[in-house]
Amino acid sequence: MDGFTRHFWRYAVGLALTLLLALGLSGVATAQLRVDISGVGATQYPIAIADFSGSANANMVPEVIRADLTRSGQFRLIGTSGASLDAGSTIDYASWQGRGADYLAYGSVSQSGDHYTFEYRLVDNVRKAELDQASIDGTESDMRRIAHQIADRIYEKITGIRGVFSTRIAYVLQAGNNYELQIADADGQNPQVMLRSKHPIISPAWSPDGKQLAYVSFESGKSVIYIQTLATGQRQPVSNFKGNNSAPAWSPNGQKLAIVLSKDGISQIYTINTDGSDLRRLMRSPLIDTEPSYAPDGQYLVFTSDRGGSPQIYKVAADGGDAQRLTFSGSYNISPKVSPDGQQLLYVTRSNGAFRLATLGLFSGTEQILTDGPDDQSPSYAPNGMQALYSAIQNGRSVLAVTSIDGRVHQTLSVLNGKVSEPAWGPFTH
């Protein structure tokens, strides 16, 4: 099977059985993810994160914050020499600025029985001013989540862009012949299993509110699209038509899915309500249309089609009509996603024999290659549009990876035992 067939038909038809089964690896399905980082952002903000005072495990909070900010590539951490400050400490701005820290975050964690109070402060040492403060209540089990929230606040106060550290990712983990649909924190920690199966699971897609996942399961012997509620685990089939049911994508209002069906002989794009009603075909193409994805305003979809002789990316109005071709460089462009601000297209392109992530300015026409390949797949924007999550092959191993949208900073979330694929970055939920 050549590269064109292996990639395009995997997405076009959704029948990934041979490919997925061939990639089986031994190991347990509960392996944690490990983070490796390379590169730095065009701008780096020097910041010190002091140790938090208070309860015995208080320092988990600054440790998580430091790791979050480091992963973004946009912050340069200044050493604190073990300095511990509490939320009421008086700050010597000049001293911290002298260490090279333009910003300083500090705080405390107090405990009363099972109840914890997390207090944090952020100051600008150059302007000698407090930028942010918060007091958050929770339990010990909430500590990582609250640390991510504080990191989000720091990121937004300094960069002006909303942070994504407290968002979640979804992906499929294969260990041997077992498949798991998992969700985890954006840093790959705290994985939770949503579905276990002896049969392949592909194409997880987050609902706009982050409360549900749509995905394709082969548990009945054929591809069927399900929607699962994360809080309860309740799931129901939404699309089980004759032939293939694949590639679900949520509309921005969460009321319907764009899906791909082959019930009339060839894979075509339809929309369907999330309760399985009101099936509508968007276009009639003589060749394969697949991989639909809504623009953030819900006015149009982008999709992959070989109607022009090779797989390229097109757009069509959300209620159907004539399609417009978007990609013209190269003979292979697939897996499109529109950025949250509607300005860019993220996709997989074949360049010099390698499958890489690329972006295209939808108004400027500027193209940029973000990754090196050789086999980068399934790109997904972070909800703030600053990073992209994808699956990759590195040193012969299948991994989850993240790149900044300018291609400068790269992260590898590598599973210790198993094969990870089909990643999807979840939305903002608070």
pLDDT tens for 55-81 read 777 889 999 999 999 999 999 999 988
- On whether both 196 and 239 belong to a single domain, the answer is yes
**pLDDT number for residue 414:** 67
| Of 109, 129, 159, the domain-final residue | 159
pLDDT per residue as tens digits for the range 374-399:
999 999 999 999 999 999 998 888 88
Query: What is the tally of structural domains in the chain?
Result: 2
Let me know whether 198 and 50 are in one domain: no
Given pLDDT bands bounded at 50, 70 and 90, which one contains residue 1?
A: very low
Nearest to 270 by CA among 252, 296, 244: 244
Q: What is the pLDDT of residues 313-322, one digit of tens each?
A: 999 999 999 9
Domain assignment of residue 371, yes or no: yes
Question: Measuring CA to CA, which residue among 347, 350, 354 is closest to residue 372?
Answer: 354
Cβ(165)–Cβ(187) under 8 Å? yes
Examine the pLDDT at 163 and tell me if it is beyond 70: yes
Contact 360, 347 (CB under 8 A): yes
Nearest to 44 by CA among 408, 359, 397: 408
User: Which of 159, 181, 196 is the last residue before a domain boundary?
Assistant: 159
Residues 69 and 146 in one domain: yes
297 within domain boundaries: yes
> What integer best gives the mean pLDDT of the chain?
89
* Residue 341: HSE in the Cβ half-sphere, 13 Å Cα cutoff: 12
- Considering the domain architecture, whether residues 214 and 346 belong to the same structural domain is answered as yes
- Residue 367, token pair as written in the block: 């193209």
On the question of pLDDT at 258 being above 80, the answer is yes
Assign residue 151 the CATH number of its domain: 3.40.50.10070
Q: Do 275 and 326 fall into the same domain?
A: yes
Taken in order 10, 13, 19, 20, is the CA torsion positive or negative?
A: positive
What is the CA angle 154-156-158, rounded to 5? 70
Q: DSSP of 52-101, one letter per residue?
A: EEESTTTTHHHHHHHHHHHHHTSEEEPP-TT-EE-TTPPP-HHHHHHTT-
Whether residue 37 is contained in a domain is answered as no
Half-sphere exposure of 78 (CA within 13 A, CB side): 19
DSSP string, 142-160: GHHHHHHHHHHHHHHHHHS
> Does 25 fall in a domain?
yes
Q: How confident is the model at residue 415 (pLDDT cuts 50, 70, 90)?
A: low
pLDDT value, residue 286: 86
* Residue 395 forms part of a structural domain: yes
Give the pLDDT band (50/70/90) at residue 13.
very low
Residue 206 CA to residue 31 CA, distance in Å, equals: 23
pLDDT in tens, 193-204: 999 999 999 999
pLDDT value for 416: 60
* Residue for token pair 């903002």: 428
Considering the domain architecture, whether residues 209 and 288 belong to the same structural domain is answered as yes
Confidence of residue 30 (pLDDT cuts 50, 70, 90): very low
Residue ranges making up the domain that contains 273: 3-30+167-425
Domain edge (last residue) among 116, 139, 159: 159
Q: Tell me, yes or no, whether 316 and 383 share the same domain.
A: yes
Q: What is the pLDDT of residues 181-230, one digit of tens each?
A: 999 999 988 999 999 999 999 999 999 999 999 999 999 999 999 999 99
Flag whether 430 is in a domain: no
Q: Which amino acid is at 129?
A: A
Instruction: Please give the pLDDT value at position 17.
Output: 30
* CB-based contact 334:346 (threshold 8 Å): no
- Using pLDDT thresholds of 50, 70 and 90, give the confidence band for residue 20: very low
Q: Which residues contact 107 (CB under 8 A, 6 or more apart)?
A: 52, 53, 61, 62, 85, 86, 87, 118, 119, 120, 121, 150
- Is 59 part of any domain? yes
- Angle (nearest 5°) at CA 314 between 313 and 316: 155
Residues 306, 398: one domain? yes
Q: What was the pLDDT predicted at 54?
A: 85
Could you tell me if 261 and 297 lie in one domain?
yes
83-128 per-position pLDDT tens digit: 878 888 899 999 999 999 999 999 999 988 889 999 999 999 999 9
> Domain check: are 176 and 194 in the same one?
yes
Beta strands in 333-396 (DSSP E): 333-338, 344-351, 354-361, 367-369, 377-381, 387-394
Q: Is the pLDDT of residue 411 over 80?
A: yes
> Can you give the pTM of this predicted structure?
0.89
Rounded to whole angstroms, how far apart are CA atoms 365 and 345?
Answer: 10
Asked if 386 and 161 touch (Cβ cutoff 8 Å), the reply is yes
* 121 and 174 assigned to the same domain: no
Whether 352 maps to a domain, the answer reads yes
* Claim to verify: residue 56 and residue 122 sit in the same structural domain: yes
Rounded to the nearest 10°, the torsion over CA 306, 312, 317, 319 is: 30
Q: What is the pLDDT of residue 398?
A: 87
Q: What is the CATH number of the domain that holds 269?
A: 2.120.10.30
Q: What is the pLDDT of residue 99?
A: 94
